[in-house]
Structure formats: C-alpha cells, structure tokens
Amino acid sequence: MFLLLIVLGFLIGTAVGVYILVQYFMKPLVYQGSVPLQDAEVTSRCNDTDNEVTTVPRRKVSFRINTENFLLEVQVESRQEWLLTCHERWNANWGTHICRHLGFIRLMHHKAVNLTSTKLNHSQEYVQVPVGQTTSSEHTWQTRRGCLSGRVVTLKCSECGSRSKTSRIIGGRDVALGRWPWQVSLFLHNKHVCGGSIIAQQWIITAAHCVHNYRSPQLSSWSVLSGIVSHPPKRQQASSSGVEKIIYHQNYDDRSHDYDIALMKLEKPLNYSDSIRPVCLPQYEQDLPAGSECWVSGWGHTDPDNTHMPQSLKEAMVPLISTKKCNSSCIYNGDITSRMLCAGYLDGKVDACQGDSGGPLVCQTDYTWRLVGVVSWGMGCAEPNRPGVYTKIGSFLDWIHKIIEED
C-alpha cells in the first residue's frame, strides 16, 4: 500500500511538472486568446526593472511658427532665445523642409514681411538661412543683429492636430463625436476590419497587416468611414470614401510585425469639419520620454474573452513604455525593434485589442496632437506584462513624405 502511494505521488508530480513546463515555454500567437498570467513575484520584478530616465538630445536647430503672426522662429544650438528668420536666401524648399520637420504634411504659404510692420523688442536677434542648395538641419544657421533686406519670413503649413471645442480598447470609455476627428474605420466588404488616421485630405495611415493580403483588383471592396463614433454610423454624420490606392511598406514582415505601416489614398479629398480633421505627424527626431500620457482609440473588442465589438468608439489613456523595459526578459524579450514602441500598463487592464489594429496612438505636445504610433500587435489583450505594441511613426517620416510626394 505504501509503495502504491509513492508511485501515485510520483506520477502526479511528473504530470504537474510537465504541465508547468508546457505553460512556460509555449509562446502564444498574436491575439489568439490570452497568455498565461505571470505570478505576483514576476510582475513585481518587471515593474521594478529598467526604470531608466529617458533624455531627449538637444538638436542643433529647432523651429516653431508663431501662432499669432505666423513668423518663423528658430532656436540654434547653445542659444535659449527664439530668433526670427531673415528673408535673405530663403526659398520654398526651406519652407517645405521646415513644415515636414514640424510634423506637417505640406507647405501651404510663405512670404516676406517688413520688420517695420511687426512688433519687436529691442533685443530681438535674427538668423539667416544656411549657405547651400540642400535643406538640412545640420547646416549652421548664422545669427544676425539685423536683416539686410529688412524683411523676415512668415510660414503657414497644412492644418493638423487640432480638434473642435465642443481601448482595441480594454477598459476604455465611450467617445464624443469630434474628440478624435482623425479616427477612421476601414471597411472591407461592408464590415469594419481596422482603424486608421487621417493625415491629409486624401491620405490615411493604417497598419500593413490590415491590408497586405489585398491587391488592386479588390480596391472596390474597401471603403473608409470618417466623422463617426458609432457602428452602424448615423447617416447625417458619416462620410464614406472609396479607396484609390493601398501602399504598404516594402519591408513589412508578417512574422515579426516589423515595418507594420501602410498608406491608403482616397478616391476624393475629404471635406474637413469639426468631426473630420487630420492629425499631425511627429516632429523629426522627437522622442517622447517613457511615462508620457498618450491616447489610443478604436472599435475593437472590449473583452479579450469574446468577440464582442462595441457600437461606440472607445478611448483609453496609455503611458509610453521605454523600449529597453519592453524588451526585458519578462515582457517581450528582445522582440521590439527600433520601428516599434510600447504603451500600456504592466498590470494589464487597459489595452488595445482585435479590431483596433491600424488605429491611432496620439500624444499631445505644444497643444498639438501627433500620431506617435499605429496599433500593431501584442500577446493577448490587457494581459499582465504584455503591453500593446505600436508601429513607431517617427521611424517612417521620410517614407510617408516620399510616397505622398511621388504620388
């Protein structure tokens, strides 16, 4: 009898050991059910590691446009004050370069203004456009006590990043019309499949994994709904647009989810309104620190355990997580590339989920909303130590401008 108990105990122990090993080593598929919950000790250890302070390097030159008079102001290395830009050597190429540098799609207008017509303080100094034909922030912007021409530059870029006055989101809340006016719903065969963001009147940014299986003959099956917060949309609010072209990144890898970005060109330009507006792109070299509060929105699943898709657009605030921390062994163990970023909570509860893919992760800087990320992938939804992973838009600015310009 005693021997039988020993044998039975050994068999039970072996079975438990095998089960634990299987649970530990099996890597879950992306968005295919939940992942094994981490125990309290591991979760705590993840929360306590890699709490580095992110430092943003100072650029050689920074730009801004005065919102009252559209004067172009420049801050050069080692100088704290903002300087006006002399009109000498100025041209439209510099205007295009600076608008893009600031996160706008295109230059709208530029002109010279007489110094006598602007209100200046007595200590005002100036900068002059660098010598040379190429536009680059690496050039030396020379400071001046005055402008020989007696004129300075005003600049106006395309509209973006503002909203009217009037979570795949687990743990999110309903959204009022116009709160995220750049949010769109991508429909395939009259069914919502992904989110997207308006960046120009004819251009939408989404995730490559939303569209990469579909070729030109099927373009007529796609439509983009804008100016809505509910499904089915109200007729007086919705604007449905046909799709002329879909371009996903040539390096997109559907296994690693790297380069998960795509552009959609609409057949006709959108009519902007309080509920339909573009979002700004990030500024070049802009690197927001870990902990920055950003927002994700979408119509994705609100419960990771079923396929319920909400009728109303949901939103959730998610803090950015450093790539170093997100790549730690107890989170994504090195799977996060330089073209991805993480956002969310290590204890889970709030996250994006199926159906939110391609939608926006936006952060507000200088009173302007910028598209920092695109909902890309994750393991499960709102699971501990499995925050959402987003395509890092800042890594694709040149690609975005190149596609739009060539078209």
Q: Mind telling me the catalytic residues?
A: 209, 260, 357
Nearest to 254 by CA among 323, 192, 207: 207
> What is the amino acid identity at position 337?
T
> What is the amino acid identity at position 277?
R
362 near 372, Cβ under 8 Å?
yes
Q: Which two tokens stand for residue 387?
A: 């925050």
227 near 238, Cβ under 8 Å?
yes
What phi-psi label fits residue 371: left (phi over 0), alpha (psi between -120 and 50 degrees) or beta? Answer: beta
Tell how strand 191-200 and strand 183-188 pair up: antiparallel
H helix or E strand, kind and range, residue 401: helix 397-406
Distance between CA atoms of residues 244 and 266, nearest Å:
5
> What is the amino acid identity at position 137?
S
H helix or E strand, kind and range, residue 241: strand 239-248
Q: Which two tokens stand for residue 278?
A: 């573009």
Q: How many CB atoms sit inside 10 A of residue 100's CB? A: 22
Nearest to 341 by CA among 283, 287, 404, 379: 287
74 near 128, Cβ under 8 Å?
no
Q: DSSP characters for 234-280?
A: PTTT-EEEEEEEEEE-TT--TTT-TT--EEEEESS----BTTB-PPB
Q: How many CB atoms sit inside 10 A of residue 255's CB? A: 6
293 near 317, Cβ under 8 Å?
yes
For residue 220, give the 3-state DSSP assignment.
helix
